[in-house]
């Protein structure tokens, strides 16, 4: 999770999933950039790889561990945060292929994420997938602990 401070307010970068299923969904649909850990891959290395694949940005700097959460379907997400900044409109996502419309026999390519935006923590809480919103207080606690 990329974070920044603007005018004394903590903001986090969230991504909106691409594809037709998510096109009209907003609150509760946003996510942190994330993905699969491949066999034998270090979890932080996987998080960095997935962040770069979904945004085109290479994470760097000091990473704040945010722990793990359970999403619906028993999917476990482990996350870290790092300080950074970018122009969300310039993000370039990888793509996926989907049969669309369903049962049409036609396939289309969609971006894995269709947009990104920085949100102040309170708004991020409303936009994020409910399980992932648990990372926000962990981020605040982790940053406070770093400051001592």
Q: pLDDT by residue (tens digit) across 19-31? A: 999 999 999 999 9
User: Does the pLDDT value for residue 94 go beyond 80?
Assistant: yes
Dihedral sign, CA of 97, 56, 78, 32?
negative
Cβ neighbours of residue 70 under 8 Å, at least 6 residues apart?
A: 76, 77, 131
Q: pLDDT by residue (tens digit) across 22-64? A: 999 999 999 999 988 998 999 999 999 999 999 999 999 999 9
User: Does the pLDDT value for residue 145 go beyond 80?
Assistant: yes
Q: Which domain holds residue 130?
A: 2-147
Domain count, the chain: 1
What CATH number corresponds to the domain at position 117?
Answer: 3.90.79.10
């Amino acid at each position: 999770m990329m974070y920044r401070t603007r005018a004394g307010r903590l903001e986090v970068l969230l991504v909106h999933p691409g594809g037709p299923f998510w096109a009209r969904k907003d609150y509760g649909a946003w996510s942190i950039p994330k993905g699969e850990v491949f066999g034998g891959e270090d979890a932080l290395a996987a998080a960095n790889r997935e962040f770069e694949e979904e945004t085109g940005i290479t994470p760097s700097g000091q990473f704040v561990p945010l722990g793990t959460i359970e999403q619906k379907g028993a999917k476990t997400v482990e996350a870290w945060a790092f300080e950074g900044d970018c122009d969300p409109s310039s993000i370039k996502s990888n793509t996926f292929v989907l049969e669309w419309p369903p049962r049409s026999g036609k396939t289309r390519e969609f971006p894995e994420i269709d947009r990104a935006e920085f949100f102040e923590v309170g708004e991020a809480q409303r936009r994020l997938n409910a399980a992932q919103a648990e990372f926000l207080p962990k981020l605040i606690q982790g940053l406070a602990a770093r400051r001592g």
